[in-house]
Structure 1
């Protein structure tokens, strides 16, 4: 009888621990104000993204792509999905706010794009589609 009670207590303890872990996984991360590392890449160019040329002092743009946790967070914050977007479908979703565009693709996960026109300091698109 004592063994059954001990087994039950261990089972209840494991169940509570797993429940706490599951709840913690579903909660947003607590904000601590510290910088976080970025995942992604960038491209420096002149002209336009669709007709890129070597950058010059007067025509220099940077296109940034953010992936990982930041890509997912930005995607979730700028919804809703665009219905008439390039590649839209059940395996590809697109969202956009101003010059920030984000996509989710079944095979690739989340990615967000943003551009900067360096001489003017103004934002621009960071992706073609």
Structure 2
């Protein structure tokens, strides 16, 4: 049975390569990620408490670029003042491209409920 699974993977990889596409593989990649743990709201944060704790994550670089490209299409935003800036949003995930800063994405979680929340105000 193990040989069949290996053979099927080989055939799938060979077929993808023969068609000019590389085989997809589950592989964790490094990412430029920063985070903050806080209480309150993003516009008025304070030190987290046991009953009020949130996490906001900020991703930059290649990971943000891949997320941005996967999310399309662009949205209109009042947050941009930089010419050439673009924004894409899905629920509580926001990704931006700014010519001066590159790609960036943010999102967050309410750690008391586990629910997804935004990671930035604007």
2 CA distance for matches of 1:28 and 1:88? Answer: 39
Q: Normalising to structure 1: TM-score of the pair?
A: 0.73
Runs of 4+ in structure 1 over 4 Å off:
27-30
1 CA distance for matches of 2:22 and 2:35? Answer: 27
1 CA distance for matches of 2:21 and 2:28? Answer: 16
Check if 1:55 corresponds to 2:48.
Answer: yes
- Residues 51 and 29 from structure 1, CA distance in 2 versus in 1: closer, same or farther, beyond 3 angstroms? farther
Any idea what SS the aligned residue of 1:62 has? strand
Higher Cα radius of gyration: 1
Q: Normalising to structure 2: TM-score of the pair?
A: 0.77
Which ranges in structure 1 are unaligned for 5 or more consecutive residues? Answer: 1-26
Check if 1:75 corresponds to 2:68.
Answer: yes
From 36, 53, 57, give the equivalent of 1:64. 57
- Residues 28 and 88 from structure 1, CA distance in 2 versus in 1: closer, same or farther, beyond 3 angstroms? farther
What count of residue pairs does the alignment treat as equivalent?
103
Bigger mean CA offset, 76-85 vs 43-52: 76-85
2 CA distance for matches of 1:118 and 1:99? Answer: 15
Q: Name the residue aligned to 1:112.
A: 105
CA-CA distance at 1:80 after TM superposition: 1.2
Any idea what SS the aligned residue of 2:67 has? helix
More helix by share: 1
